[in-house]
Structure 1
Amino acid sequence: MKQRIVTAVIAAAAFLPIVLYGGWPFVLLTYLMAVIGLGEALRMKKIPLLSAPGTLSVLMLFVLLIPERYTKAIVQAGYDKLQLILLMVLLLLVYMVVSKNRFTFEDAGFCTLSVLYVGFGFHYFMETREAGALFVFFALFITWATDSGAYFIGRSFGRNKLWPEISPKKTIEGSLGGILSAVLIALLFFFFADLQTELPQLLLATAVLSVAGQIGDLAESALKRHFHIKDSGAILPGHGGILDRVDSWLFVFPLIHILQIVN
């Protein structure tokens, strides 16, 4: 527990000021975190990041992550992001042929889905920051409130397992406690910050985001359980890897745009 707290404090001290500052430092940090997260996902499938499919996956990720305000150069060249991503997918299939099926169609599909899984979450992380640091902190705080509320309420009152086949310790009571905690944080943001959102819409969206964050957590747990590993990595002592820390974000940040909390 002590190691987890120390790591969390150090990480927050480095991470939060960059989020607040924004600009190129924030973009570079996001790209770095995304590459590490992608590397953790590929490593589960025993695909090295420093390999032909790993390199193609990173290039695909870089394209997907390009912030919308920087896509003008691609458009002026007569292309769009989707075309470049499809090119990378085709090259993965070419490598499948060149490798004489040592790199399989399943491997190519895993690489592609891993890029989409990691890439969309971090892309919308940057797009949310573009809309304002307030929206990033809103998403982060309701995610953290969901995790903390689910942990403490589940530990105190949890009796009914939520999804024991994937995460044996999570309970229905804890899940509901996480949603309630997120809603309380949303109320604080509504009264003390200007999210420019009506209260009923904000509370409903917060409940959906809280559930989505918990599903993101379960999705990564299912992925790790499938590959029989405990943590996605070891870059954060006491916490595991990048994916272990951002699994909820990868669902929350795209949804915060879909739900039009950020316009």
Structure 2
Amino acid sequence: MSQRIITAIIAALIFIPIVFIGGIPFIILIYMMATLCLFEIFRMKKIKFNSFAGIISTILLWVFLLPTNDVYFFNGIELDAKIALFFFGVLLFLCYSFVSKNSFSFDTIGFCVLAILYIGIGFYYIIETRNIGGVLLFFFALFLIWATDSGAYFVGRAVGKRKLAPHISPNKTIEGSIGGIVSAVVVALLFYFLSDIQESFEFVEILITSIVLSIFGQFGDLVESGLKRFYNVKDSGKILPGHGGMLDRVDSWLFVMPLLNFLQLL
């Protein structure tokens, strides 16, 4: 537990100031985190990251993360151009499957493309949330995620009896899941009454948003747990002592950040 706490403190001391700084330092950090997550997924599948598939996938991920709207340090890239580049990458995969005589199979192509979308969509909206929504909205999302995780853990340990998804994550309980949702609602109310987030949400809206994001954050955790179980790995990596890999830490982010942006459009 002490190792876990030390790692969390060091990570927070690095991450939080960069979030406040924003701009290019934040973009660089997110690119690094996204690339590491892609590497961890490829390692589960036993695809070498320095292979053709790994190199092209990394390039496509980086293209995917480019902002499509103007920000103060970058004019943005047209969405059509981004889509065209992505499809070109898929065509390269298909050509390589022929050249490799199907040693790089259609199934592997599908894995690569879905991995890029899974990581790319999530991290793209992490960038969007900070650059467009601002620091307050970004930390609102993070605190909802952290509250959900903590509430689910402590309530589950205290009163959890009914298993939530025993085939994927045996320790998670329905009671813990409800505790996570309640904790997220409490945090959302604190933000509503103690910050300027009222400019973005009405009272009922923030309640509904916190519940929806908490539920989907838990889905993000379960999806990644299912991925690890399918490929028979305990953690996605070892870069964060006591926590596992980068993907283990941001699995909920990849669901919550896009959904928060979608809800903002409603």
Counterpart position of 1:17: 17
Q: Distance in 1 between matches of 2:88 and 2:53?
A: 13
| Alpha-carbon distance in structure 1 between the residues aligned to 2:163 and 2:101 | 46
| Superposition deviation, residue 20 in structure 1 | 1.1
1:236 aligns with 2:240: yes
Give the whole-Å Cα distance in 2 for the aligned partners of 1:212 and 1:165. Answer: 19
Offset, 1:68: 2.1
Could you say which residue in structure 1 is the equivalent of 2:149? 147
Residues 119 and 161 of structure 1: CA distance in aligned 2, closer, same or farther (over 3 Å): same
Question: What is the aligned residue count?
Answer: 260
* Unaligned residue ranges in structure 1 (runs of 5+): none
The answer to whether the aligner puts 1:254 opposite 2:255 as a matched pair is: no
Q: Map 1:50-89 to 2 at 5 A.
A: 50-69=50-69, 74-75=77-78, 80-89=81-90
Cα distance change on mapping 1:73 and 1:171 into 2, 3 Å: closer
| Partners of 2:103 and 2:172 in 1: CA distance | 39
Please give the residue correspondences for 1:139-178 in structure 2 after superposition, counting only pairs within 5 Å.
Answer: 139-178=141-180
After superposition, residues 32-47 of structure 1 pair within 5 angstroms as: 32-47=32-47
Mapped to 1, the partners of 2:15 and 2:80 lie a distance apart of 34
The TM-score, its normalising length taken from structure 2, stands at 0.95
Displacement, 1:73?
A: 6.4
Give the equivalent residue in structure 2 for 1:4.
4
Q: Distance in 2 between matches of 1:250 and 1:51?
A: 25
- Are 2:144 and 1:121 aligned? no
Cα distance in 2, alignment partners of residues 158 and 214 from structure 1:
16
When the two structures are superposed, what TM-score results if normalisation uses the length of structure 1? 0.96
Alpha carbons 2:67, 2:76 under 8 Å: kept: no
Q: Deviations over 1:211-242 (max 9, x none)?
A: 00000000000000000000000000110101
Distance 1:9 1:38 in 2: 24
How far does residue 72 in structure 1 lie from its aligned partner after superposition?
5.2
Provide the secondary structure at the position in 2 that maps to 1:238.
coil
Residues 73 and 242 of structure 1: CA distance in aligned 2, closer, same or farther (over 3 Å):
closer
2:103 maps to which residue?
A: 102
Shift, 1:137, TM fit = 0.3
Structure 1 pair 183–74 and aligned structure 2 pair: CA distance change class (3 A): closer
Residue type matched to 2:249 in 1? R
Question: What residue in structure 2 maps to residue 132 of structure 1?
Answer: 134
The alpha-carbon deviation at position 64 of structure 1 amounts to 0.7
CA RMSD of the aligned region, Å? Answer: 1.4
Structure 2: gaps of 5 or more residues? none
Partners of 1:50 and 1:189 lie apart in 2 by 44
Amino acid across the alignment from 1:209: L
Distance (Å, rounded) in 2 between the aligned partners of 1:96 and 1:234:
32
The CA distance in 2 between the partners of 1:99 and 1:72, in whole Å, is 39
Asked if structure 1 preserves the Cα contact closer than 8 Å seen for 2:68 and 2:76, the reply is: no
Equivalence for 2:203: 199
Partners of 2:185 and 2:76 lie apart in 1 by 41
Q: What is the alpha-carbon distance in structure 2 between the residues aligned to residue 94 and residue 206 of structure 1?
A: 45
Match of 1:215 among 216, 219, 231: 219
How far has the Cα of 1:74 moved from its partner? 4.4
Q: Determine the C-alpha separation between the residues in 1 that align with 2:169 and 2:124.
A: 28
Give the AA of the match of 2:43: R
